Amino acid sequence: MLAVVLITCPSGEVAREIANMLLRRRLAACVSIIPGIKSLFWWEGRVEEEDEALLIVKTRVELLRGLEEAVKEAHPYKVPEILALPAVFSSMAYLDWVVHETSMGGQVS
């Protein structure tokens, strides 16, 4: 089963570093980066507002724990957002591609 994981980052540079790390470790088949999002959230008793970049990670459900640990190691936030959503549909070709790229079948560069 596939999952889509949302991860916010404090900058495009941090987002790119985390995306590349997830790809190198084969924890993701694809990571899209959306720069320039505005996040408003509760932090330590008050509402904060930050400019961030959003990662949209395409992966397999069975890789989520490893992905979480890798992101927590690399992420500068004390509590990084790592929110996984199940993919309720995927074309078989895309599913096969994600499975291939996040398994030993993929070429490690």
Domain of residue 97, CATH code: 3.30.70.120
Q: What integer pLDDT is reported at residue 105 of this predicted model?
A: 59
The whole-model pTM stands at 0.92
| Res 90 pLDDT > 50 | yes
Residue at 56 is within a domain? yes
Number of separate domains in the chain: 1
Least Cα distance to 68 among 52, 83, 85, 54 occurs for 83
> pLDDT tens digits, residue range 6-43?
999 999 999 999 999 999 999 999 999 999 999 999 99
**What's the whole-number mean pLDDT along residues 67-93?**
96
Q: What integer pLDDT is reported at residue 106 of this predicted model?
A: 54
Q: What integer pLDDT is reported at residue 109 of this predicted model?
A: 44
Burial category of 79 from C-beta neighbours within 10 Å (exposed 0-12, middle 13-18, buried 19 and up): exposed
Residue at 70 is within a domain? yes
Structural domain for 83, as ranges = 2-101
What the block records as the tokens of 24 is: 């190198």
DSSP 9: E
Widest pairwise Cα distance in the chain: 47
Residue at 25 is within a domain? yes
> pLDDT tens digits, residue range 57-76?
999 999 999 999 999 999 99
Q: Between β-strands 2-9 and 83-86, what pairing exists: parallel, antiparallel or unpaired?
A: antiparallel
